[in-house]
Amino acid sequence: MSPKNQVKFKDRVREITRRNRGVSMSHRMLELRSYFQGWIGCFSIVRMKTYFEDLDKWVRRRIRSCYWKQWRGPWTRIANLRKLGVKEDEAVTHGCSRKGLWTMSSSRAVHEALSLDYLAHEGLASLLTIWQTLTAKDLNRPVRTRMPSGVGGAQPRG
Protein backbone atom coordinates (compact mmCIF):
# COMPACT_ATOMS: atom_id res chain seq x y z
CA MET A 1 0.00 0.00 0.00
CA SER A 2 1.57 3.25 -1.06
CA PRO A 3 1.63 6.24 1.29
CA LYS A 4 -0.28 8.25 -1.33
CA ASN A 5 -3.20 5.80 -1.23
CA GLN A 6 -3.19 5.81 2.55
CA VAL A 7 -3.38 9.62 2.58
CA LYS A 8 -6.27 9.53 0.09
CA PHE A 9 -8.10 7.00 2.27
CA LYS A 10 -7.65 9.04 5.44
CA ASP A 11 -8.67 12.26 3.68
CA ARG A 12 -11.89 10.67 2.45
CA VAL A 13 -12.68 9.24 5.91
CA ARG A 14 -12.00 12.68 7.41
CA GLU A 15 -14.42 14.16 4.91
CA ILE A 16 -17.13 11.61 5.81
CA THR A 17 -16.57 11.96 9.57
CA ARG A 18 -16.24 15.74 9.66
CA ARG A 19 -17.69 16.76 12.97
CA ASN A 20 -19.51 19.85 11.68
CA ARG A 21 -21.16 18.09 8.77
CA GLY A 22 -24.69 17.99 10.18
CA VAL A 23 -25.69 14.41 9.27
CA SER A 24 -26.84 11.62 11.56
CA MET A 25 -24.44 9.01 12.83
CA SER A 26 -26.36 6.25 11.06
CA HIS A 27 -25.92 8.09 7.74
CA ARG A 28 -22.18 8.39 8.44
CA MET A 29 -21.94 4.69 9.20
CA LEU A 30 -23.70 3.78 5.94
CA GLU A 31 -21.46 6.09 3.96
CA LEU A 32 -18.35 4.65 5.63
CA ARG A 33 -19.51 1.09 4.95
CA SER A 34 -19.97 1.71 1.23
CA TYR A 35 -16.63 3.52 1.01
CA PHE A 36 -14.85 0.71 2.89
CA GLN A 37 -16.30 -1.97 0.63
CA GLY A 38 -15.24 -0.15 -2.52
CA TRP A 39 -11.80 0.68 -1.17
CA ILE A 40 -11.09 -2.84 0.05
CA GLY A 41 -12.40 -4.20 -3.25
CA CYS A 42 -9.56 -2.32 -4.93
CA PHE A 43 -6.91 -3.13 -2.32
CA SER A 44 -7.92 -6.63 -1.23
CA ILE A 45 -4.65 -7.96 -2.60
CA VAL A 46 -2.78 -6.31 0.27
CA ARG A 47 -1.79 -9.11 2.61
CA MET A 48 -1.18 -7.03 5.72
CA LYS A 49 -3.65 -7.80 8.48
CA THR A 50 -2.02 -5.32 10.87
CA TYR A 51 -2.41 -2.55 8.29
CA PHE A 52 -6.19 -2.96 8.31
CA GLU A 53 -6.23 -3.32 12.11
CA ASP A 54 -4.43 0.02 12.46
CA LEU A 55 -6.80 1.73 10.03
CA ASP A 56 -9.74 0.26 11.95
CA LYS A 57 -8.44 1.73 15.21
CA TRP A 58 -8.02 5.14 13.61
CA VAL A 59 -11.55 5.09 12.12
CA ARG A 60 -13.07 4.08 15.46
CA ARG A 61 -11.28 6.96 17.16
CA ARG A 62 -12.67 9.36 14.54
CA ILE A 63 -16.18 8.04 15.18
CA ARG A 64 -15.75 8.37 18.95
CA SER A 65 -14.69 11.98 18.51
CA CYS A 66 -17.84 12.56 16.40
CA TYR A 67 -19.98 11.22 19.21
CA TRP A 68 -18.13 13.37 21.75
CA LYS A 69 -18.74 16.45 19.59
CA GLN A 70 -22.39 15.51 19.12
CA TRP A 71 -22.94 15.28 22.87
CA ARG A 72 -21.71 18.89 23.23
CA GLY A 73 -22.30 20.09 26.81
CA PRO A 74 -20.84 18.52 29.94
CA TRP A 75 -24.19 17.41 31.37
CA THR A 76 -25.17 15.69 28.14
CA ARG A 77 -21.80 13.95 28.04
CA ILE A 78 -22.14 12.82 31.65
CA ALA A 79 -25.68 11.54 31.04
CA ASN A 80 -24.68 9.64 27.90
CA LEU A 81 -21.61 8.13 29.54
CA ARG A 82 -23.77 7.01 32.49
CA LYS A 83 -26.39 5.60 30.12
CA LEU A 84 -23.69 3.58 28.35
CA GLY A 85 -22.40 2.02 31.57
CA VAL A 86 -19.56 4.24 32.82
CA LYS A 87 -19.27 4.73 36.61
CA GLU A 88 -20.64 8.03 37.88
CA ASP A 89 -17.39 9.54 39.20
CA GLU A 90 -15.57 8.63 36.00
CA ALA A 91 -18.41 10.00 33.87
CA VAL A 92 -18.32 13.32 35.76
CA THR A 93 -14.55 13.76 35.46
CA HIS A 94 -14.57 12.90 31.76
CA GLY A 95 -17.76 14.83 30.97
CA CYS A 96 -16.43 18.02 32.59
CA SER A 97 -12.99 17.69 31.02
CA ARG A 98 -11.75 20.66 29.00
CA LYS A 99 -9.56 18.48 26.79
CA GLY A 100 -10.18 18.37 23.07
CA LEU A 101 -12.25 15.94 21.02
CA TRP A 102 -9.33 13.91 19.71
CA THR A 103 -7.79 13.53 23.17
CA MET A 104 -11.07 12.52 24.78
CA SER A 105 -11.82 10.03 22.00
CA SER A 106 -8.93 7.90 23.26
CA SER A 107 -9.83 8.09 26.97
CA ARG A 108 -10.75 4.98 28.91
CA ALA A 109 -14.29 6.08 29.78
CA VAL A 110 -15.16 6.88 26.16
CA HIS A 111 -13.69 3.53 25.06
CA GLU A 112 -15.77 1.80 27.69
CA ALA A 113 -18.95 3.61 26.67
CA LEU A 114 -18.43 3.45 22.89
CA SER A 115 -17.00 -0.07 22.81
CA LEU A 116 -16.43 -2.20 19.74
CA ASP A 117 -19.73 -4.00 20.34
CA TYR A 118 -21.64 -0.73 20.65
CA LEU A 119 -20.12 0.72 17.48
CA ALA A 120 -20.79 -2.50 15.57
CA HIS A 121 -24.39 -2.47 16.85
CA GLU A 122 -24.72 1.12 15.62
CA GLY A 123 -23.61 -0.01 12.15
CA LEU A 124 -19.90 0.77 11.92
CA ALA A 125 -18.27 -1.59 9.45
CA SER A 126 -14.88 -3.06 10.26
CA LEU A 127 -12.23 -2.80 7.56
CA LEU A 128 -10.59 -5.96 8.85
CA THR A 129 -13.82 -7.97 8.70
CA ILE A 130 -14.61 -6.80 5.16
CA TRP A 131 -11.04 -7.55 4.06
CA GLN A 132 -11.16 -11.02 5.60
CA THR A 133 -14.44 -11.89 3.86
CA LEU A 134 -13.21 -10.63 0.50
CA THR A 135 -9.84 -12.34 0.70
CA ALA A 136 -10.96 -15.58 2.34
CA LYS A 137 -11.23 -17.26 -1.05
CA ASP A 138 -7.75 -16.13 -2.06
CA LEU A 139 -6.07 -17.17 1.19
CA ASN A 140 -7.04 -20.82 0.78
CA ARG A 141 -5.50 -21.28 -2.63
CA PRO A 142 -2.07 -22.94 -2.84
CA VAL A 143 0.94 -20.69 -3.21
CA ARG A 144 3.00 -21.37 -6.32
CA THR A 145 6.74 -21.39 -5.98
CA ARG A 146 9.40 -21.12 -8.65
CA MET A 147 11.19 -24.28 -7.60
CA PRO A 148 9.50 -27.57 -8.46
CA SER A 149 10.77 -29.14 -5.22
CA GLY A 150 9.39 -26.45 -2.89
CA VAL A 151 10.52 -23.16 -1.44
CA GLY A 152 14.20 -22.48 -2.00
CA GLY A 153 14.78 -25.96 -3.36
CA ALA A 154 14.44 -27.61 0.07
CA GLN A 155 13.30 -31.20 0.04
CA PRO A 156 10.27 -32.02 2.17
CA ARG A 157 11.04 -34.14 5.22
CA GLY A 158 9.01 -37.16 5.93
| Cα separation, 68 vs 60, whole angstroms | 12
Question: Is residue 119, in this structure, part of any structural domain at all?
Answer: yes
CA angle 21, 22, 25 (to 5 degrees): 95
Contact 40, 127 (CB under 8 A): yes
Domain of residue 103, residue span: 24-140
Question: Is residue 121, in this structure, part of any structural domain at all?
Answer: yes
Taking phi first (over 0 means left), then psi (-120 to 50 degrees means alpha), and beta for anything else, what does residue 153 get?
left
Question: Is residue 1, in this structure, part of any structural domain at all?
Answer: no
Question: Is residue 97, in this structure, part of any structural domain at all?
Answer: yes
**Which tens digit of pLDDT belongs to each residue from 29-80?**
999 999 988 888 777 666 778 888 899 999 999 999 999 999 999 999 999 9
Give the confidence band of 21 by pLDDT, cuts at 50, 70, 90.
confident
Please count the structural domains in the chain: 1
Question: Is residue 4, in this structure, part of any structural domain at all?
Answer: no
List CB contacts of 104: < 8 A, sequence separation 6 or more.
65, 68, 94, 97, 110
Question: Is residue 129, in this structure, part of any structural domain at all?
Answer: yes
Question: Is residue 153, in this structure, part of any structural domain at all?
Answer: no
pTM: 0.78
Question: Is residue 124, in this structure, part of any structural domain at all?
Answer: yes
